[in-house]
Amino acid sequence: MPKCNVCYRQCDISEGKSGFCGVRSCRDGKVVPDNYGRVTGIALDPIEKKPLARFMPGSRIISVGSYGCNLRCPFCQNYEISWSDEAMEYGRGSRYISPKELVDIALYYRDEGNIGVAYTYNEPLVGYEYVRDCSKLVHEAGLKNVLVSNGMASLEVLSEISPYIDAMNIDLKGFTDSFYENKLKGNRKMVMDFIKEAVKHCHVEVTCLIIPGENDSEKEMDELSAWVAELRDAKGNLIGREVPLHISRFFPRFHMMDRNATDVGKVYRLVEVAKKNLKYVYPGNC
């Protein structure tokens, strides 16, 4: 039975079936992405919306997303295309855009400030083959590639795409194993390993969404930001203090309507905590 290589689950997928993410299936004895080129959303966005604060600020970028995800965040803001029943419906109604067509779209909007393509909205790496194929052509066209990811992917997958990615925003959704395992159905170590390797290849910014009663303690933010501060580049130089961290405010969403939005004062307090370890810390959604 073929095994998927994308995340820690290493799903064994039988013929005609899909793995946990809902989009990687077995066909003719091989694991393939059913969502290859299937686009559910495309827009010309400010680069700051990714969010990226220190990569080509003031520019715009074509954002493109598909469907499917390998996490199960109960607060997902894009659940319609990520992991709900609706995701598969969106998939069936998606539009196919070939890598070449996507590059043509990106070039068309260059006069409006577009610098390239951002792979975002759902989890792009459950269909990393499309990211790889598109980003290679985007580079050949002289444009930039941005990846917005939950970081829950193997280093093997990262090696497939890293030669073509110029910047990433990676979610580090909390800093305890219990939060990742019980709330998100994920693996914190895999995300941390992904971030540690990614900073060796391109510009990286990290985002943490602060959820009341879950990952909002000052102690956890101090530990998270201290870990980021220890990141090193490919030559072993300490660069972590320069890695931007976005601390974002939660709003009730999806299966997590049982609590209020994060207090703005709490977000700004956690920003100050993180600034003890990091040079660039930004509040989000405030």
pLDDT digits (tens, 9 = 90+) for 16-31: 999 999 999 999 999 9
pLDDT at 90: 63
Residue 88 has pLDDT above 90, yes or no: no
Q: What are phi and psi of 283, to 5 degrees?
A: -75, 145
Pairing of strands 245-249, 281-284: parallel
pLDDT digits (tens, 9 = 90+) for 116-130: 999 999 999 999 999
pLDDT at 83: 76
Q: Which range is least confidently modeled, 59-63, 69-73, 80-84, 214-218? A: 80-84
Pairing of strands 38-39, 41-46: unpaired
CA–CA distance, 248 with 282 (Å, rounded to integer): 8
CA–CA distance, 102 with 120 (Å, rounded to integer): 14
Residue 226 has pLDDT above 90, yes or no: yes
The predicted model gives 277-282 an average pLDDT of 98
Residue type, 260: N
Band of residue 103 on the pLDDT scale cut at 50, 70, 90:
very high
Residue 81 has pLDDT above 90, yes or no: no
Judge contact between 128 and 149, C-beta under 8 A: no
* 17-22, Cβ contacts within 8 angstroms, sequence gap of 24 or more: 20/70, 21/68, 21/69, 21/70, 21/83, 21/123, 21/126, 22/67, 22/68, 22/69, 22/83, 22/87, 22/88
Band of residue 50 on the pLDDT scale cut at 50, 70, 90:
very high
pLDDT digits (tens, 9 = 90+) for 208-220: 999 999 999 999 9
pLDDT digits (tens, 9 = 90+) for 149-186: 999 999 999 999 999 999 999 999 999 999 999 999 99
Domain ranges across the chain: 35-284
CA–CA distance, 194 with 151 (Å, rounded to integer): 6
Residue type, 39: V
The domain defined by 35-284 carries CATH number 3.20.20.70: yes
The predicted model gives 256-262 an average pLDDT of 94
Q: Which of 212, 208, 209 is nearest to 260 (CA)?
A: 212
pLDDT at 138: 98
CA–CA distance, 90 with 41 (Å, rounded to integer): 10
Secondary structure E strands in 5-157: 24-27, 30-33, 38-39, 41-46, 60-65, 95-96, 114-119, 144-149
User: Got the DSSP string for 205-238?
Assistant: EEEEEE-TTTS--HHHHHHHHHHHHT-B-TT--B
Report the mean per-residue pLDDT for the chain. 96
pLDDT at 195: 98
Residue 84 has pLDDT above 70, yes or no: no
Residue identified by tokens 């299937």 is 38
Alpha-helical (H) ranges within the chain are: 79-82, 85-92, 99-108, 128-140, 155-161, 177-178, 188-198, 218-229, 264-275
pLDDT at 18: 93
The predicted model gives 125-146 an average pLDDT of 98
